[in-house]
Amino acid sequence: MDIKLLLGDAKVLIKNIPDNSIDLVFIDPPYDQNLYMDRLTDMEKKFFVKQFKRVLKRTGNLAICCGFWGKFTWYNLATEEGFKLKREIIWVYKNLGNKLTQRRTFLAAHETILWFIKSKDYYFNEEGLVERDWIETPRLSGILRIKGLEKLPTEKLNITPKPLKLARIIIKRLCPENGTVLDCFAGTGTFAIPCIEQRKNFIGFEINEKIFKIAEERISKFYPKTKISDFYKR
């Protein structure tokens, strides 16, 4: 098992990933569900989709966490590159709402993971009872979803980690034993933890040095031998 967390720009670092070497690209790119916006431009998304196609094995899977509006762009770009949408997986959570921000609309209580396959020979772990295509977990606020830290940061960070339960299911089903997961927006390292638990390889990129250090501390609690690399300095 090899767990790597690299500090730097994903647009630069992904070019160093060999062709046909990744089993699962599982990403949570920056988006704001409440503001109905993605923080990646369409050109950036198009660049990443092309890179995903290059680095994924023929049997590989692509899973993209996205808000309601962003999923349409991701779908169009991925299908243009030859990916096929296999399933829309829904993450359901309770949302008590805020009357100041949730006016004249339904209360958002789910987010989407788009699961694409590269070929009909895609990998899928059928062991045990297969989960439904919706996953329900609590939705804690931002930093509170982080497990493994002795002390939470006092400053406000613009991060919304996904629940570990969600990450565990996706990685279990879509990445084979001894396979490799690539996360281009690693954040606090959530997707690395199921890889450690399931003995799968992980490569993660994070551009923000403060968030990178949180991920470094968090992952090291689960796997002290983690290889932390300042591969690219801004």
Does the pLDDT at position 201 exceed 90? yes
**Average pLDDT, whole number, for the chain?**
86
pTM over 0.85: yes
Domain assignments of the chain as residue spans, ordered by start = 3-229
Does the pLDDT at position 37 exceed 80? no
Amino acid letter, 189: G
3-229 has CATH 3.40.50.150 classification: yes
In a 13 Å sphere around the CA of 217, the CA atoms on its Cβ side amount to 13
Tokens linked to 120: 């009909």
What is the model's pLDDT at position 36? Answer: 47
Question: Using one digit for the tens of pLDDT, what is the confidence trace for 108-119?
Answer: 788 899 999 999
Min mean pLDDT across 64-68, 80-84, 92-96, 169-173 is at 92-96
Does the pLDDT at position 79 exceed 50? yes
